[in-house]
Amino acid sequence: MAAALRRTFPVATLAAGARRTSAGRKPGSLADSCLADRRLWDQLHAHPRLGSVPTFDWFFGFEEAQGLLMPFLQEAKAASPARVLDVGCGTSSLCTGLYTKCPHPVDVLGVDFSPVAVAHMNSLLEGNQDQRPLCPGHPASRLRFMQADAQNLEPVASTGSFHLILDKGTWDAVARGGLPGAHQLLSECLRVLSPQGTLIQFSDEDPDVRLPCLEQASQGWTVSVQELGPFRGITYFAYLVQGSH
Ligand SMILES: C[S@@+](CC[C@H](N)C(=O)[O-])C[C@H]1O[C@@H](n2cnc3c(N)ncnc32)[C@H](O)[C@@H]1O
């Protein structure tokens, strides 16, 4: 498998050690042609997981992200439960971590266009032969996984309905198929985001590349960036797109 797609367990990076950019990919690389292709993701998500770890995270997992995420859920507590959407959730630990560890009521929806990823997460949620069903951190919390194209969330999400939207590596994957697709993904996220809500894109892409893209496509919203990590030697970024608070 090409270096750009190297999967290291339990986390993976799209950059395989070197920073990638939304523009200027190496022409003809596997990363260029396939990362926006659902069939490739079905294959990757069907890859067996090592040992007893039931989730697989790109970049980093819930443990590393929770310090940033929890204050947003605390803030959204008045909405009880806070509605959270993870676009391109894959088989990551973000949704399950929020559901099982958040002490406030949360209503979490993970969507991915890969039916393989969605089936895996549903079996994890409901429990299977080896594992018990997941238990919520708050009795009023909810977790669902649905197959959906994050570039068209119309069938699963109504306008302005989520307080927090998470995108960990999904813009990065979609942008490999061209920036118009990534802009469509962003536009859908902003459509379903509450006017007081926050979209967080987690990525290893440099701010000098990502920020201009986000600023241009998120007019009327406030865009900022925070450094995360380093985790296992790599510094990541949380790109925040926020409405009025
Ligand atoms: C780099 S992986 C990140 C997965 C997960 N968020 C994580 O952090 O481990 C990108 C994910 O986006 C999904 N994806 C790519 N394009 C998508 C689209 N148009 N709609 C929904 N999911 C998509 C893939 O199936 C894959 O699960």
Model confidence at 16, in pLDDT bands (50, 70, 90)?
A: very low
Gap between the Cα atoms of 42 and 114, Å rounded: 6
| Whole-number percent of the chain with pLDDT over 90 | 73
Rounded CA separation 194/243 (Å): 8
Half-sphere exposure of 171 (CA within 13 A, CB side): 31
The helix, strand and coil proportions of the chain, stated in percent and rounded to the nearest 5, come to 35, 25, 40
Span 78-99, pLDDT tens digits: 778 999 999 999 999 999 999 9
pLDDT of 9 reads 39
What is the rounded distance in angstroms from the CA atom of residue 187 to the CA atom of residue 229?
Answer: 28
- Record the pTM: 0.90
Among 13, 112, 152, 200, the mutation site with the greatest number of ligand 1 atoms within 8 A of its Cβ is 112
**Residue 150 CA, closest ligand 1 atom number:** 20
* Pick from 72, 61, 59: nearest CA to 8: 59
Indicate if ligand 1 lies below 6 Å from the C-beta of 44. Answer: no
Task: Return the closest-CA partner of residue 232 out of 89, 95, 64, 92.
Answer: 64
203-231 average pLDDT score: 96
Q: Domains in the chain, please, with CATH?
A: 3-242 (3.40.50.150)
Query: What pLDDT does 1 receive?
Result: 27
| 79 Cα: distance to centroid of ligand 1 (angstroms) | 28
DSSP state letters, 12-64: E-SSTTS---SS-PPTT-HHHHHTT-HHHHHHHHHSPPSTT----EES--HHH
Give the model confidence (pLDDT) of 117-136 as tens digits.
999 999 999 997 578 999 99
- 198 DSSP β-pair partners: 164, 242
Q: Is pLDDT above 50 for 27?
A: no
Query: Tell me, what's the pLDDT at 35?
Result: 81
117 C-beta closer than 6 A to ligand 1: yes
Q: Determine which residue's CA is closest to atom 10 belonging to ligand 1.
A: 170
- How large a percentage of the chain has pLDDT more than 70? 82
C-alpha distances out from residue 179 to 21, 36, 137, 167, Å: 11, 11, 38, 16
User: What distance in Å separates the CA atoms of residue 80 and residue 57, rounded to the nearest whole number?
Assistant: 28
Ligand 1 centre to CA of 88 (Å) is: 3
CA distance 91 to 55: 5
CA 171/CA 95 separation, integer angstroms: 18
Is 217 close to ligand 1, i.e. is its CB under 6 Å away? no
Å from CA of 99 to ligand 1 middle: 19
